[in-house]
A and B are shown apart, each in its own frame.
Chain A
């Protein structure tokens, strides 16, 4: 398994500001993903974080709004830019270690935008 740490665990942000969420894994992983869970909803994939190259975004998500970095095989960041109340969600990091089909999730970062 993999131990995934996300920071911050929660934050309250002002409209128009940006916040960067960190995801740290205790071992090297092949695949890293970022998901969003809006209040009372299911999870939606934002993007695949690619090591050393630009992230691959899903339909409806763009790099200007959700820039992602992945400088190595254990760490990634997601920035939520120019936030509005509609961005209030839980943002979750997910990893696959590559050896099995297991996909693990971090505890999530709960953002509230006022």
Chain B
């Protein structure tokens, strides 16, 4: 069945780069997503990538997709304390836009 896995926790120093990793299993995924959830808040769409792309860059965010290994990563450059949150990766089930979420990675940015 479909499964999306993430490491649970990442701690970085302010100003460093953060890399959050995700693996997925459904090879028919159309889109893959990264969401940010701050305490007590909903989900903020950070970025998404179409499955036929290898990379997408948006300001401080870089998404890398290795479709062969079913591996997705999110790199945050110059990480700030305001980036501290839980980051979820998600894959869409074929073209239905129904999402399967990973368990979330809690990013802690130390001053």
Number of interface residues of B (CB under 8 A): 23
Q: Taking the complex as formed, is B88 at the interface, i.e. its CB lies under 8 A from any CB of chain A?
A: yes
Option from B30, B42, B96, B101 in Cβ contact (under 8 Å) with A108: B42
User: In the complex, how many residues of chain A place their beta carbon closer than 8 angstroms to a beta carbon of chain B?
Assistant: 21
Chain A, Cβ-Cβ closest to B88: A42
Which residues in chain A, 13-48, are within 8 Å of chain B measured between CB atoms? 31, 33, 35, 41-45, 48
A106 and B42 within 8 A (CB): yes
Question: Is residue B103 contacting chain A, with contact meaning CB distance below 8 A?
Answer: yes
Main SS of chain B's interface residues? strand
Q: Which of B11-19, B43-51, B58-66, B67-75 forms contacts with chain A? A: B43-51
Asked if B45 and A103 sit within 8 Å, CB to CB, the answer is yes
A-B contact count (CB 8 A): 53
**Which single residue of chain A is at the shortest CB-CB distance from B31?**
A101
**Contact of B42 with A101 in the complex, beta carbons under 8 Å:** no
Given the complex of chains A and B, what is the CA–CA distance between A43 and B33 in angstroms?
13
Decide if A92 touches B102 in the complex (CB within 8 Å): no
Interchain CB contact under 8 A, A42 and B50: no
Contact: B99 with A43, CB < 8 Å? yes
Q: How far is the CA of A44 from the CA of B102 in the complex (A)?
A: 10
Interface residues of B, Cβ cutoff 8 Å to A: 30-31, 33, 35, 41-45, 48, 50, 88, 90, 92, 96-104
A residues apposed to B, CB below 8 Å? 31, 33, 35, 41-45, 48, 58, 92, 94, 96, 101-108
